[in-house]
Structure 1
Amino acid sequence: MNSLNREMIIDGKVIGRQQPVYIIAEMSTNHGGSLTRAKEIIHAAAECGADAIKLQTYTADTLTLNSSLPHFQLTDGLWAGQSLYELYEKVAMPWEWHQPLLEEAQKANITLFSSPFDRSAVEFLEQLDVPAYKIASAEIIEVELIEAVAATGKPVIISTGGAAIGDIQRAINIMKAHDNPNLCLLKCTSAYPAPYDSMNLTTIAHLAQWSGCPVGLSDHSLGISVPVTAVALGACVIEKHFMLDKSHDTADQAFSLDPSEFAQMVQSVRQAAMAIGQVDYPSTTRMQRAIYAKCDMPAGTILSRENIRTARPGGTIAPRHFNDLLGRVLRQNIKAGECLRWEMI
């Protein structure tokens, strides 16, 4: 395989530059340890207009070591004051929830897939036959993980936050080596929340041209302005963290959207995509002028400034031909207000 596909399909929906923007609601830790809330999030995401809901499949042991050494401790940011192991153990979604959540997504008519974080998670998700895989930004250097998802032959979405161009190329090479051309890359800034001046959204167009595959945005900024801007710059996928209520205390609360905000983002993204349209220079509009008869005129009348003029709305003969008509003779009778046509002269 020499190249990646410019479009790919997840659960019947085509993803690509000329297709409707594919919108992913990231549940992440916002289930808050409640299966009931997780199911409610799925239905809320569907009602907001998301195309997909995404989970994360890991355990504390698959991500880190249970160690008290200093470099395993979080000392700043949203999650300061605990170790990596403590954080992941607290927020991880139980694997036995995946099947009932998949069934709930089917009821809600929304696609569900997940981000695995090691081979065991891929094997587990394959048993559930999820339709696609998402690789988190930090895992783009995890070669065995990318090999595992590439080998499934299913569409793969990879976030690029913190990745050098060589890391992205390596991931692409792995996809090609497994003869899997269905890759989408997401521009991402790995900060939580991400400052606006760190987004560098012009990277989207460069990444799309360089890779030849669909490119989108995984967004951790506040609000909805960055996703809308990203769509204007060519993003064909938007991923945004989603929660039921901002009052819920979750690890991702600070940079997640609630249903009202998410629905507004979906609407704004759809409107931005429609407004982009295509290259178009319309030849005429009704707000332009044409040449009209100022009065009733019989055949044989010589046209002059006294009996013709330009006026709205636009019509057959454009104003630039006004001087060409002066001194010409009518072939037929015309009435006042009639729009001149060449066959009349």
Structure 2
Amino acid sequence: MKFGTHSTFIIAEAGVNHNGDRQLAKELIDIAADAGADAVKFQTFQAEQLVSRYAPKADYQIQTTDRQESQLEMIRQLELSIGDHQDLIDHAQMRGIQFLSTPFDGPSLHLLTQTFGLKTVKIASGEITNAPFLLEIARAAETIILSTGMSTLAEVEAALGVLAFGFIAEKTQLPRRGDFDQAFASDVGQTALGDRVTLLHCTTEYPAPFAEVNLCAMDTLASAFRLPVGYSDHTQGIHIALAAIARGAKIIEKHFTSDRRLPGPDHQASLEPDELKQMVQQIRDIEQCLGDGVKSPQPSEWKNRDIARKSIVASQSIQKGGDFTPENLTCKRPGHGRSPFLYWQTVGKIAPEDFEIDQVLDG
């Protein structure tokens, strides 16, 4: 599954860093576009559909928002209206950047896929055990990006089973016990997953501790499911995202904000505009550096081979007809003469001409 023109698809995660302000959300689109990201992503939800009135805040949310405010009250302030979505989608199109959003409930999913015709749906880590919603997403989206934070390998497989069933079964078919496993194990299910799903490794903490990032789990996911794997980065800074590129991440997702000092749950763990731009540029540099894996001289290296390599040269004056010996031969630059690999075949041979000190033997 390929999303853009680069080998790494970069998602600038605006999330809820618009603070419920449409104009700030448009500024975030501008920042993402100016940085060179492939997509800018928001979150689409109806607060009452997402959070019960008894749901507590996460520790990082308590630290960055009003402690007396419930999670539901916090979330209500961060909703985007239908009009907001239309305006933001139009603005993203005008700026030449793909608009994405993560839905958290059925009405929001259908708003994105049916009302606005979005083809790709990003599934948040917290939804990976929400089987009814996963099935609904599989039946509505053409391509899916699935975050796997907080998950075991078995939970990822179970979620993929639901998606596979949603891809290949009739839309009206109700699943029975074992249908998800059967869909996952089938050739047609595996083909559908390979064509339509990318997994994101993720550590769901804000900011994520470096010791708990476990980038090697990307390899485990790729090996276990034979799907493209990317990385949703919640660490501070950009260097871990860059390391993920070197490990083969096909997608990088990173939170950003216009200003880390703004109030709200995610600003403090987000990149500021200059940092986002730097991350995108360095990812593009790393993409070029990865190459095709074939070990051979690069075009710029050819001119340096004779300069950097060595040839067999005379270490003493040698008269024509004399013997080449270990005492009168050595290896020095430049490298356009006889290869040092021929040293042992040269020792004991007769000098065909006079040689001065440092004269290169012809190849």
Same-fold call, TM cutoff 0.5 = yes
Change (3 A) 1:111 1:292: farther
Taking CA–CA contacts closer than 8 Å with sequence separation of 6 or more, which of the two structures ends up with the larger relative contact order? 1
Q: Which one has the bigger helix percentage? A: 2
Change (3 A) 1:332 1:198: same
Structure 2 match to 1:194? 208
Structure 1 residues 146-155 or 160-169, which shifts more? 146-155
1:133-168 Cα offsets, whole Å, 9 max, x none, are 100000111222222222235110011111222221
- Asked if the contact 2:46–2:105 (Cα under 8 Å) also holds between the matched residues in 1, the reply is no
Using the alignment, how far apart are the partners of 1:149 and 1:235 within structure 2?
24
Cα distance, 1:206 vs. partner? 0.7
Cα distance, 1:337 vs. partner? 7.4
Change (3 A) 1:74 1:338: same
Structure 2 residue matching 1:78: 3-state secondary structure: helix
- Asked if the contact 2:119–2:141 (Cα under 8 Å) also holds between the matched residues in 1, the reply is no
Amino acid in structure 1 at the alignment position of 2:39:
A
The unaligned stretches of length 5 or more in structure 1 are 1-7
Amino acid in structure 2 at the alignment position of 1:174:
V
Using the alignment, how far apart are the partners of 1:174 and 1:72 within structure 2?
26
Structure 1 residue matching 2:164: 3-state secondary structure: helix
Change (3 A) 1:306 1:77: closer
Amino acid in structure 1 at the alignment position of 2:144:
V
Change (3 A) 1:198 1:330: same
% identical aligned pairs: 31
Structure 2 match to 1:4? none
Change (3 A) 1:74 1:122: closer
- Residue 101, structure 1, aligned to residue 88, structure 2: yes
2:57 to 74, 81, 91: 74
1:242 to 248, 256, 261: 256
1:277-335 Cα offsets, whole Å, 9 max, x none, are 45465589442312346899999886566876422233363313223113435779999
Structure 2 residue matching 1:158: 3-state secondary structure: strand
- Residue 226, structure 1, aligned to residue 236, structure 2: no
- Residue 9, structure 1, aligned to residue 6, structure 2: no
1:217-261 Cα offsets, whole Å, 9 max, x none, are 111111112212222222221101111122322321111101111
1:138 to 126, 148, 158: 126
Using the alignment, how far apart are the partners of 1:61 and 1:103 within structure 2?
27
How big is the alpha-carbon RMSD for the aligned residues of Structure 1 and Structure 2?
A: 3.0
Amino acid in structure 2 at the alignment position of 1:234:
G
Structure 1 residues 99-108 or 305-314, which shifts more? 305-314
Structure 2 residue matching 1:44: 3-state secondary structure: helix
Cα distance, 1:187 vs. partner? 0.9
Cα distance, 1:59 vs. partner? 1.4
Structure 2 residue matching 1:9: 3-state secondary structure: coil
Using the alignment, how far apart are the partners of 1:55 and 1:332 within structure 2?
78
Summarize the alignment of residues 251-262 of structure 1 with structure 2, pairs less than 5 Å apart: 251-262=265-276
Using the alignment, how far apart are the partners of 1:159 and 1:74 within structure 2?
21
Change (3 A) 1:75 1:50: closer
Amino acid in structure 2 at the alignment position of 1:137:
S
Using the alignment, how far apart are the partners of 1:109 and 1:332 within structure 2?
70
Change (3 A) 1:310 1:163: same
What TM-score comes out, normalization by structure 1 length?
0.83
- Asked if the contact 2:120–2:141 (Cα under 8 Å) also holds between the matched residues in 1, the reply is no
Using the alignment, how far apart are the partners of 1:265 and 1:335 within structure 2?
56
Change (3 A) 1:337 1:93: farther
Structure 1 residues 156-165 or 268-277, which shifts more? 268-277
- Residue 129, structure 1, aligned to residue 117, structure 2: yes
The unaligned stretches of length 5 or more in structure 2 are 169-191
- Asked if the contact 1:75–1:81 (Cα under 8 Å) also holds between the matched residues in 2, the reply is no
Change (3 A) 1:77 1:244: closer
1:44-83 Cα offsets, whole Å, 9 max, x none, are 1111121111111101012023x3xxx4233743334321
Summarize the alignment of residues 1-345 of structure 1 with structure 2, pairs less than 5 Å apart: 8-10=1-3, 13=4, 20-65=7-52, 67=53, 71-74=54-57, 76-79=59-62, 80-126=67-113, 127-177=115-165, 178-179=167-168, 180-181=192-193, 182-277=196-291, 279=293, 285=305, 286-292=307-313, 303=324, 309-315=330-336, 317-328=338-349, 340-342=361-363
What TM-score comes out, normalization by structure 2 length?
0.79
- Asked if the contact 2:60–2:265 (Cα under 8 Å) also holds between the matched residues in 1, the reply is no
- Asked if the contact 2:44–2:103 (Cα under 8 Å) also holds between the matched residues in 1, the reply is yes
